[in-house]
Structure 1
Amino acid sequence: MRRRFFVLIAAAFTLAACGLGANARRPADPELDALFEQLASAPDDATAARVEAEIWQRWSDSGSPTVDILLERANAAKAAGDPELALRFLDQASELAPDYAEPWSRRANLAYEAHDYSGAITAIQETLKREPRHFGALTGLGIIYEEIGQDRPALEAFRAALAVHPHYEAARQGVRRLEPRVDGRDA
């Protein structure tokens, strides 16, 4: 009961704290910005999927071979069933590249898989500080909120993901699930 209370409190403040699209991130990347413009205006799912793949590729490249190797090792540790080792690699990557969002995004996934929702929310918040357009993190936030019974914040997170990536299917499904409950209840 106490843990659920903590998670609910964290959930209540996270949308406001991470701004769902504001604040600091890595220095401007004109190529990534152009990809996000293409993503927002993609005429169909197939075009959006191609642009999305390019964005994920850009996000996976930290610009540092050392950090990239640490992320690869974190993935290998996770695949081998050693989340603690994976977290240590992610910590090292974050220390070397403090403005890089991906170690935080991957940390959020590890926390979520361990059912540590407050840890996942905190890591998502850190991800969004560094990359407010991270539609995967926004969608993950929506999934967590939905799982803990916070339908309105979940819907807001899914909608924020769709504002960035209108063709992101996981966010679309979240909106379809929650709109009737949330908007219907408040009407």
Structure 2
Amino acid sequence: AIGRHNRMVVILGTSGCGKTRTCFELLSLKWGLYFLVEPGDIIGSRDLVCVIAYLQQKLTRDKSMNHTLALAVVRCALLSQLLILDYCCRETSFNPHCWLLLQTCQRLWGLSYHYGEDIFCTLTLQLIESCEDKDVQTAINTIYLKFCNDMFPIVLDEAQLLSTTLENQFSSRNKP
């Protein structure tokens, strides 16, 4: 279901020009997902940091196997956010703005509820360890269909940092 439309928008600009702010404005109005490659102390979940750390321990010299593993692990991060979104939407007053705040500031909110962990990272790691990839894909498609009636942005902020992460572990057009 997710691949049906394959619409992608890349927002490019110099540092400080408002790329993240633009994404936040959009996500405060529309349901969507926000991933930050390198979160700060306050803003952003550490789910992708957990994914990268997990992959660093599991990758081998087999680039094809690495690709398969990375897809499965990233799907778990995606499902983690979708499961939490789906759960939160059971509350009628929950809206896209609340969801954006939970995604970007959940560590601060968690402390007010005496939960000091990163809920997205914790759930992602639990899904990686306990779920089969086909079940993860089925769950993603099921939950995604609830939200895809309209635009459903998935933001990968600071994506350029991934270009030097786990170098030489995957095939590319330039380096098969």
Q: Which has the higher strand share?
A: 2
Length-normalised TM-score, structure 2: 0.34
RCO comparison, higher one (Cα < 8 Å, 6+): 2
TM-score by length of 1: 0.32
